[in-house]
Structure 1
């Protein structure tokens, strides 16, 4: 065999090379032998074919299975509770105004069920500007901002928001809900850490969930518990020698589900101490908190640049649609390629961008609007803080003077009253609250129960009636509306009949 190999031209050179190579590198011999054996085993192994294990049915068996199959309905059958919610959903007829027409009621109702705090929805100036913009730009861009959806009005609004908040730059999103749920996953990925207030709204919860990051929750607005969590994370990192990851503290400025305010100075102190980044959702606080309506940083007199990302919706005080994220130039530029709702959604219609822009101008030019709104909020709370109601309802943190400027409030029935009335579950509590809502409507005031995604909320808040104060009503009308709500609560909750009569 050796003589035959040698007879091949050039074989002597190959043999000499192989001898030298393997003599100097024994590891190479082991590796190549392993690869040779692996290749032989692979070639001789049984080939996998899809559906090898599939059960073969006869024609008779197939026919029997087809006859037994019952398709599920595309829409599940409504429960009694679902029908109740649908029947009690108010239908507004015509434009939304401070005194709006509601289907089923002859006279307009004073509207305390909307975030139209400054009545920008009814502003003739904003309406005219929006109509002019509609005629010039059309309805929508039909394209994402990164392609051909960015217009000059979008760029101007981004500059106005950044200037209004005191940040370097800002970015616009087309939907308010998807703003925070896109911003969080744009920066925090799998393996990163999010430390989140357990009282945040549903939109923030979705953003946290989508990020697939490691999540640690701290008790609502409890800075001692937040520090405890941060200390535990720090010790765990040192003990297990974990690699450094991106880390964020996530909270709201003004909590939608509780109506209280985040303690921003303490949050900034802890952020600096443990070297985290801070994300604040100001959807509820933008335009209403602070001496100039600039949100949480304005309220506490803190430099806005101490907060890494200020996120908010323009569908509340700014009477428009969409959302924004303000921060450093690097933070904003990163989202233009990594913010999913920015990259893959059609951009905000130009007329809505103009509406938000004009709203910001009016807040800057008319600071008395904020003063009037706070006076109405204080008066409303004082009227509901009546001794006849103190044993019936819980008004969110009524004794805290800091919250007197918050233009919305949650009214909840006290557990002792629910027990006396035989309310043993959430549905019965909702029905009792709806009785109050219906009584208010019959007396000319529109309020609604707070709606939650019950089966998806991390910590489902108790049922409540959420009341919004507005400058669209005069002070006299505001006080009258508070009186109507007070009398409705007394009328419904002071009756002696049991919950069975509601069903």
Structure 2
């Protein structure tokens, strides 16, 4: 290692340790499910109730879905061999995109290797340096990075504040009207479910504002697909309202596979095939993974009770925490934040809970604002009420004691 690299990386890591933002990885020794085994610091394995997974429907452990993916590997091999526009495009990719479009109620869909790539590639393809983007202040990093890559003028509005969104749109329109530049393309972009707070974007109001302001509207349904709505189809089903112009999502959370997608009009997906750099310049996802994602989506479609089980568990857990004296609200999603505040205290409580068999991570700056560190519980459809009651009691005691 060169001296320059050594000094730079050492200083950065020491600073992270000093302000309690240093990150490290746990080793999980069993498949992702409602209970897992974790390698502890002393080298022993310990069973934990997992309250940290984005696999909200616990589909990764459904036997018929595992067997279907194994069969897809035997049929299609372990890799794709090329980009989608060269040799990588296989039947499972097309079948997956057709089913995503059907599931989301859209004309067409296009898949990416990750949800992150879907956001970055879509935003930077749709907007350029002369355009305006209006972004919720709590949007995911992939949205922020897509905006940066687009070089568009970004206007950040207060979280879920529709009056502030209207204000920044009006200010942007006024500034452009006073210049000699041509009219910009305008895009409102927001998460559907905000991943650290678990709250929802106000889709009916966003649709109204987008229409009145002549803006495109894009939502990222990473934490909404398979979770929101009676059958898990997302934010529009939840509200019972119209769809947006551009719907982005992921296949790696409730769908329990890998990849991201964009759903919308056929012309949109054709445009992205030709203009999105994160689609064009990358090797396609393995066809067996695409087949697995499609099978898992079909399973969600055929088992809406799985979505209802998740909703029931969220209500039970929030009620249990409230009975134990923990200040939480009923979450409309699968994410239940328990705000601690101090970064060091949140880390200590999380470590104490892990010792007691509850795996729930401490989320700190820069993922959330300084002084807003929290325990972020994410629930699964297969948690039992007994597990959730046990977890709520232990969490409440740890929070009260402050460790």
Q: Decide: shared fold, TM above 0.5.
A: yes
Deviation at 1:430, TM superposition (A): 2.3
Is the 8 Å Cα contact of residues 199 and 459 (structure 1) preserved in structure 2? no
| Structure 1 residues 458 and 377: CA distance shift in structure 2, 3 A | closer
Q: Could you say what secondary structure the match of 1:76 adopts?
A: helix
Deviation at 1:462, TM superposition (A): 2.4
186-195 or 475-484: bigger deviation = 475-484
175-184 or 327-336: bigger deviation = 175-184
**Aligned ranges for residues 21-420 of structure 1 at < 5 Å?**
71-73=4-6, 76-77=9-10, 78-79=13-14, 81-82=16-17, 89-104=25-40, 105-304=44-243, 307-386=244-323, 388-390=325-327, 395=328, 398=329, 404-413=331-340
Deviation at 1:273, TM superposition (A): 0.6
Partner Cα distance (1:303, 1:142) in 2:
39
90-99 or 464-473: bigger deviation = 90-99
Deviation at 1:458, TM superposition (A): 10
* C-alpha distance after superposition, 1:279-322 (max 9, x if no partner): 11111111101111111111111132xx1100011111111111
* 2:355 is aligned with 1:442: yes
Deviation at 1:236, TM superposition (A): 2.8
**Which structure would you say has the larger RCO, counting Cα contacts within 8 Å and 6 or more residues apart?**
2
Deviation at 1:483, TM superposition (A): 1.8
Q: What is the aligned partner in structure 2 of residue 478 from structure 1?
A: 388
Partner Cα distance (2:134, 2:119) in 1:
15
| Structure 1 residues 254 and 337: CA distance shift in structure 2, 3 A | same
Is the 8 Å Cα contact of residues 340 and 375 (structure 2) preserved in structure 1? no
Partner Cα distance (2:3, 2:354) in 1:
45
Residue correspondences, number:
396
Partner Cα distance (1:450, 1:139) in 2:
35
Partner Cα distance (2:79, 2:145) in 1:
27
Partner Cα distance (1:143, 1:347) in 2:
6
Partner Cα distance (2:27, 2:368) in 1:
30
* C-alpha distance after superposition, 1:110-163 (max 9, x if no partner): 111111211111111111011001111111113111111111000010010001
Q: Could you say what secondary structure the match of 2:75 adopts?
A: helix
* C-alpha distance after superposition, 1:439-469 (max 9, x if no partner): 21222111112266x3xx7966822211111
Partner Cα distance (1:175, 1:445) in 2:
29
Q: Could you say what secondary structure the match of 1:243 adopts?
A: coil
Gaps of at least 5 residues in structure 2 are none
**TM-score, normalised via structure 2 length:** 0.92
* C-alpha distance after superposition, 1:203-249 (max 9, x if no partner): 11111111100111111100111111122222333333531221111
Which structure shows the bigger proportion of residues in helix conformation?
1
Partner Cα distance (2:217, 2:86) in 1:
30
Deviation at 1:82, TM superposition (A): 3.9
Q: What is the aligned partner in structure 2 of residue 46 from structure 1?
A: none
Partner Cα distance (1:73, 1:187) in 2:
40
Is the 8 Å Cα contact of residues 364 and 370 (structure 2) preserved in structure 1? no
